[in-house]
Amino acid sequence: MAKVKIKPIGDRVLVQHLEEKEQVRGGIIIPDSAKEKPQEAKVIALGTGKKDENGKSVPFEVRVGEMVLLSPYGGSEVKLDGETYKLVREDDILGVVG
């Protein structure tokens, strides 16, 4: 994987959604506009971190390369070099997969 040119700041995490397989229900192909947003994504980069009330750095609970579940409506979509990423706050990550 090529190095991504986006470095999140604060408690933000850069993720990339997994490719969703084409959904077919009863022989009918579901159009992209009707599909649910995928909630599983891979962590690409971590921000600079959050600080507690004493100014001490709080470590991230996720690591680069981990698969995570996201809140379906959180974060901001970013496109770079033909790839789509999402910047989310660590609080928008619901859990780690696997």
The token pair that represents 30 in the structure block? 């579901």
Tell me the pLDDT of the chain (98 aa) as tens digits: 457 788 999 999 999 987 655 555 566 766 655 555 558 999 999 999 888 899 898 899 999 999 999 988 889 999 988 889 999 999 999 999 98
Q: Please tell me what DSSP assigns to residue 48.
A: S
pLDDT for res 27: 66
> In one letter, which amino acid is 91?
D
Residue type, 98: G
CATH numbers and ranges of domains, the chain? 1-18+36-98 (2.30.33.40)
- Which pLDDT does position 26 carry in this prediction? 65
> Which token pair is 78?
């970013």
DSSP string, 79-91: EETTEEEEEEEGG
pTM comes to 0.76
Distance CA 32, CA 45 (A): 27
